[in-house]
A and B are shown apart, each in its own frame.
Chain A
């Protein structure tokens, strides 16, 4: 099976950098995804790491280390609009189940 652990809440200051960690236990997976969800809104895809290393998309970067069973999402130059919940998710290799999500990290950006 798969389980993913994330901090439940993180608070950071506008303009700063924040890192949201995701540790996982899985029997095998294709890649690690990150999604953003504003209150009452749809989860929105941010990034996907199929291989170890850093993927950068604008102010957001995501990292994966399979040997450490660990990944993170890095948000730079934080803006108030970045206040949202962030979910990591894995694509299991076994079976047909698509994405398995973590419980999410609620990020609050303060002035």
Chain B
């Protein structure tokens, strides 16, 4: 597609539920990134994929968070047993190669945990 696409744009869930957030990167981009952004803050790094493998998952806050990219294109961020503190905008970005200064971001998935 023309840009990075994220679905859903908004997700409201109850504490303890499981959620999946999807990212469709720009065609041909090998690197994919997940960030989390809280109100008034900068994007916070979660995980980075180069191809199908996670090159760096050091930003995942705990083992409730998991992400996959099985075919090296679309990625899914999975959050188990959601907590109110997980409420944020989850941003996905892609680039032609890893560790570049220019990332192309999607508009994010706003997650609200009640």
> Is chain B found bound to chain A in the same assembly?
yes
Complex-state Cα separation, A40 to B59, whole angstroms: 23
Complex-state Cα separation, A41 to B40, whole angstroms: 13
- Within 8 Å of chain B (Cβ to Cβ): is A101? yes
What band does the interface of chain B fall in when counting residues whose beta carbon is under 8 Å from A? 20 to 34
Q: Is the CB of B56 within 8 A of A97?
A: yes
Q: Is the CB of A100 within 8 A of B101?
A: no
- Taking CB atoms and an 8 Å cut-off, the chain A residues in 23-47 that contact chain B are 30-33, 40-45
A-B contacts counted at CB < 8 A amount to 73
Beta-carbon nearest neighbor of B98 in chain A: A98
Q: Which residues of B contact A30 (CB under 8 A)?
A: 99, 101
Q: How far is the CB of A40 from chain B (nearest CB, A)?
A: 8
Q: Is the CB of B59 within 8 A of A48?
A: no
Q: Is the CB of A44 within 8 A of B105?
A: yes
User: Can you give 27 contacting A-B residue pairs, CB < 8 Å?
Assistant: A32-B101, A33-B101, A33-B102, A40-B107, A42-B4, A42-B108, A43-B93, A43-B105, A45-B103, A50-B101, A87-B42, A89-B42, A91-B100, A96-B56, A97-B48, A97-B59, A98-B31, A98-B33, A98-B45, A98-B48, A99-B33, A99-B45, A100-B45, A101-B44, A103-B40, A104-B40, A104-B42
